[in-house]
Chains A and B, each alone.
Chain A
C-alpha cells in the first residue's frame, strides 16, 4: 500500500466572520486520496472556511499547513499549482470561448511569456471532454446555461490539476446525473494524482455518498468532525439544521430527508 501522505493540516484554527464564530480551535488532517465534506446550515461559514483554506481570506488564529509548509509561505502561483477552487458562482461579463476558459486552468503551470503548449491544450480538451463540453469549444461563455457554466468551471479546475480540490457547492445547477458523474470524476482524479478534496455542500446525500469524513458546522464554533457514518445521523443532523431529519436505508446506502 502506498504511503499515505498528509496534504492538508489544520492546527487550532480560529475563524470568525462579522463577530460570529465558525470554529474556535479546529484541528484536522487531510490525507491523499481522502474526501472531506463540509456541511452546515446557511451562514455557518462553509464558504468562509473554504476561502480561508485557499488563502483568499485570513484566519483569526491557528495555522494551516499545505504539504507540511505554512499556507502563507507559498507564493500565489506555486499555491495555485497545489490548490484549486471551484467557486459557488462565476461572474462573466467579458467574452471568452469555452476552450480559452478551460485553458486558463493551465495558467499557474506556465512561466511568463509562454503560450500554452500542445500538451496544455490536450489537458484542457480532455477536461472538457470529461464534462461533456467538447462539442462547444468555440462557444462564447456568456451564451452558456447555468449547468454548462458549472461544468466549464469544473473543467477549468480539472485542467489545473491541483493536489487539493476545494469545492463550494459542486452540485450547483447540475442535474442529478451530472452531480454524481462529476464527483465520480473527481474521486478518480484523487486516486490517480494522490490528491485530496474538501467540499462544502447543502446536499447531505451527495456528501454521504462521496465523502470519507464530514465536518459539520453548527454555528456555535464547535464543529463536529468524524467518519461520514458517525456524523451523519438523524440526531446530529436534526440538531445542526434545526429541523427534523429522518433516514431510510436503501441497500448499502442511507438517504436523508426532512421530516
Chain B
C-alpha cells in the first residue's frame, strides 16, 4: 500500500500539472488555443501572440503555480504543527498582519512593488508577535500557539475593518481585491521559487518525523523525535512559506486548507507522499482557478480567491462523499 501509492498518484499529478500549465497559457481575454500555445512554445513564430504568451501569460501562470504550491505546502505543515485538521496557512494571523500592512500601503497610494514589500513586512511582524507571545511561558503547546494565533488574527481583522471603512472608494476596491487574493498584478521571482524549493526539500527531510509528530507530542518524543526543535522548525517554515505566498498574491483562501485534505482522502497520508503531491496539486489547482478567473467574465477578471472556493467546494464535497461511502 505504502510503497505502491507513489507510482500512481505522483505521475497522475505530474500529468495534471503539465495540462494545467497549457490550459493556463491558453486562457485569457485574447484567444490562444492550446495548439497555438504549443506552436509558440516550440515553433519560431513571432508577433503579438508570442508577446502575450511570454510577457503576460507565462509569468502569471508561474506565479499562480508557485503561490498555490506554497499555500498547499504551508497548509500541510500547519495541520501537523497544530495537530488540527481545520488549520490553514492563515490561522496564526500571518495573512492578517500582511493584509494590514498591504492595505495601509494601498491607502498611501504605494506602487504594486511596495504593496508586496509591505505585505511581507507585515507578515514577518505577525510571525514575531505570535511567536513571542506563545513562547513567553516557555512551554510550546499546540493549543497555546493556536489560541495566540487566532486572537492576534482577530486583532488584525479589526484593523482591516478600520482601514476599509475609513478609506476612499477607489482604494477600497483595490483593497478588496487584495483581501480576496488576486494574481493580476503578480509575478513570482527567483526568490519565491527558491523559497518553495528550499521549503520542499527541508520538509521532505523531516517528512517521516512529521508522520510521527501527527501521533502526538509524547508519542513522537518517545519515538526519538526532538519535538520542541521540530515544532520550532515547522513554525518558521510554514510562516515563511505563507508570508511568501501572501506577498505574491494576497490572501487566497481555500487552497491551503483543502488541498492537503483532498490528498489525504485520496490515500496520501504519509507525509513523504503528501508533501510532493500537495505541491503539485496546490500549484495546478491555483493555475486552473486563475485561468477561470480571467476567462469566465473576460475581459473583466474575478479575484482568484473567489474562484478557488467556487471550484474547490464542490470538488472537495464530491471526494468526501465518495470516500465515505467507499470506506463504510
Q: B-contacting residues of A (Cβ < 8 Å)?
A: 51, 54, 56, 76-81, 83-85, 87, 90-97, 99-101, 103-105, 107-108, 110, 112-113, 115-116, 137-138, 140, 143, 160
Contacts and interface: CB of A to CB of B under 8 A. Distances in A.
Contacts, number: 87
A201 B270 CA distance: 34
A110 B216 CA distance: 20
Interface stretch (B36-44, B126-134, B205-213, B300-308): B205-213
Interface of B: 1-3, 79-80, 83-85, 205, 208-209, 211-212, 214-216, 218-219, 221-226, 264, 269-270, 272, 327
Given A93-B83, A113-B205, A100 B223 contact: no
17 contacts: A51-B218, A56-B218, A56-B222, A76-B226, A78-B224, A80-B222, A81-B224, A85-B218, A90-B216, A91-B215, A93-B84, A94-B83, A94-B269, A96-B211, A107-B211, A143-B327, A160-B223
Contact of A87 (B212, B222, B224): B222
B250 to A, nearest CB: 29
Nearest to A153: B219
Per CB-CB distance, the 4 closest pairs between chain A and chain B, nearest first, are: A80-B224, A108-B224, A77-B224, A94-B214
A76 B217 CA distance: 13
A93 B224 contact: no
B205 A100 contact: no
Nearest to B264: A95
A86 to B, nearest CB: 9
Contacts of A92: 215
Given A93-B84, A93-B85, A112-B205, A104 B215 contact: yes
Q: From DSSP, what is the main secondary structure of chain A's interface residues?
A: mixed
B276 to A, nearest CB: 14
A80 B220 CA distance: 10
B274 to A, nearest CB: 10
B205, B211, B218, B270 — most chain A CB neighbours (10 Å): B218
A186 to B, nearest CB: 16
A97 B1 contact: yes
A75 to B, nearest CB: 8
A114 to B, nearest CB: 8
Nearest to A83: B222
Contacts of A104: 211-212, 215, 223
A85 B216 CA distance: 13
B264 to A, nearest CB: 6
A79 B218 CA distance: 14
A39 to B, nearest CB: 22
B238 to A, nearest CB: 16
A97 B83 contact: no
A153 to B, nearest CB: 8
A94 B84 CA distance: 8
B269 A107 contact: no
Nearest to B221: A56
Contacts of A116: 2
B143 to A, nearest CB: 12
A90 B208 CA distance: 19
A228 B294 CA distance: 77
Contacts of B83: 91, 93-94
A105 B222 CA distance: 10
A185 B209 CA distance: 28
A108 B223 contact: yes
A6 B12 CA distance: 54
Contacts of A87: 216, 218-219, 222
Contacts of A112: 205
A103 B270 CA distance: 11
B92 to A, nearest CB: 18
Contacts of A97: 1-2, 269
A215 B327 CA distance: 46
Given A76-B226, A100-B211, A104-B212, A94 B79 contact: yes
